Amino acid sequence: MPINKVVEKKSRNIKREVILSAALKVFASGGVNGVPMPKLAQEAGISTGLIYRYFDSKEALVNELYQEQKLNMATGLFYNLPDTDDPYVSFCEVWKRMVDYATNKPETFRFLELQDHRPYLTRKSFLVEKGMLTPLLAYYQSMQDSKIYRSDMRAEVLMTLFWGAFVNLFKAQGDKLLVLSDKDILDARESSWHFLIGK
C-alpha cells in the first residue's frame, strides 16, 4: 500500500477514535437523547459535518460505541481469570475487576447502564450483549447444578439481581449520594456472595 494511503488510513482511524472518545464522555454525562451532535462535535474539536463522514447517523455512532465498550468490559471482567477450583476465589477476583472497572472507567460504566439508549440499539448491538451474557448465564446455571449457588430462583433472576445491586451501588456513588469506603466495598462483596449461595 502506498505510504500516502497508509497515512490517510491512520489519520481516519485517529479521528474516528477521537469522535468515539468524545461521544463516550458527553453521552455518559448528558445521556444519548440529551446531547445534540454540535455539542459532541465541540467536545471532539471537529465540525459537526465531519462526524457524518465517519458515522451515518447518531444512532450508528451510539451503536458502534456501545458494541466497542461492551466487548471491552467483557474482556476486562472475564478474560484470563485465575485457574482455581474454589468458587469463592473466582467470585472475589471478578468482584475486584468489577470494582476496578466501575472506579477507573466511570464514563464507560455510566454509558453502558444508561436506559435512554435502548431504543437506538440495533440487532447487532443486542447480539453483542447476548454474546456476553450467554456464557455468564451458563456459569450461573452450572454453579446452581453444583449446589454452590442457591437454586430457589432461576439463574437469570439471580444474575440480574446481583448485577443490579452492584450497578446501583456504584451509580449512587457516581451521583454523589454516598462515598464508598474500602470496608463498604468489602461488606458489599461478602453480602453479595452470601446472597448468591443463599446462606
CA distances to 41, 100, 186, 189 from 170, in Å: 29, 11, 13, 13
Q: Are 4 and 86 in contact (CB under 8 A)?
A: no
pLDDT at 6: 35
Torsion of CA 56, 59, 63, 69, to 10 degrees: 100
Q: Give 58's Cβ-side CA count (13 Å radius).
A: 17
Mean pLDDT by runs of 10 across the 199 residues of the chain is 43 82 92 89 92 92 94 89 90 96 92 76 92 93 97 96 95 92 98 97
What's the pLDDT score for residue 79?
Answer: 85
Phi, psi of 87 (to 5 degrees): -65, -30
**pTM to 2 decimal places:** 0.85
Name all domains of the chain by residue range, CATH numbers in brackets.
1-55 (1.10.10.60), 58-197 (1.10.357.10)
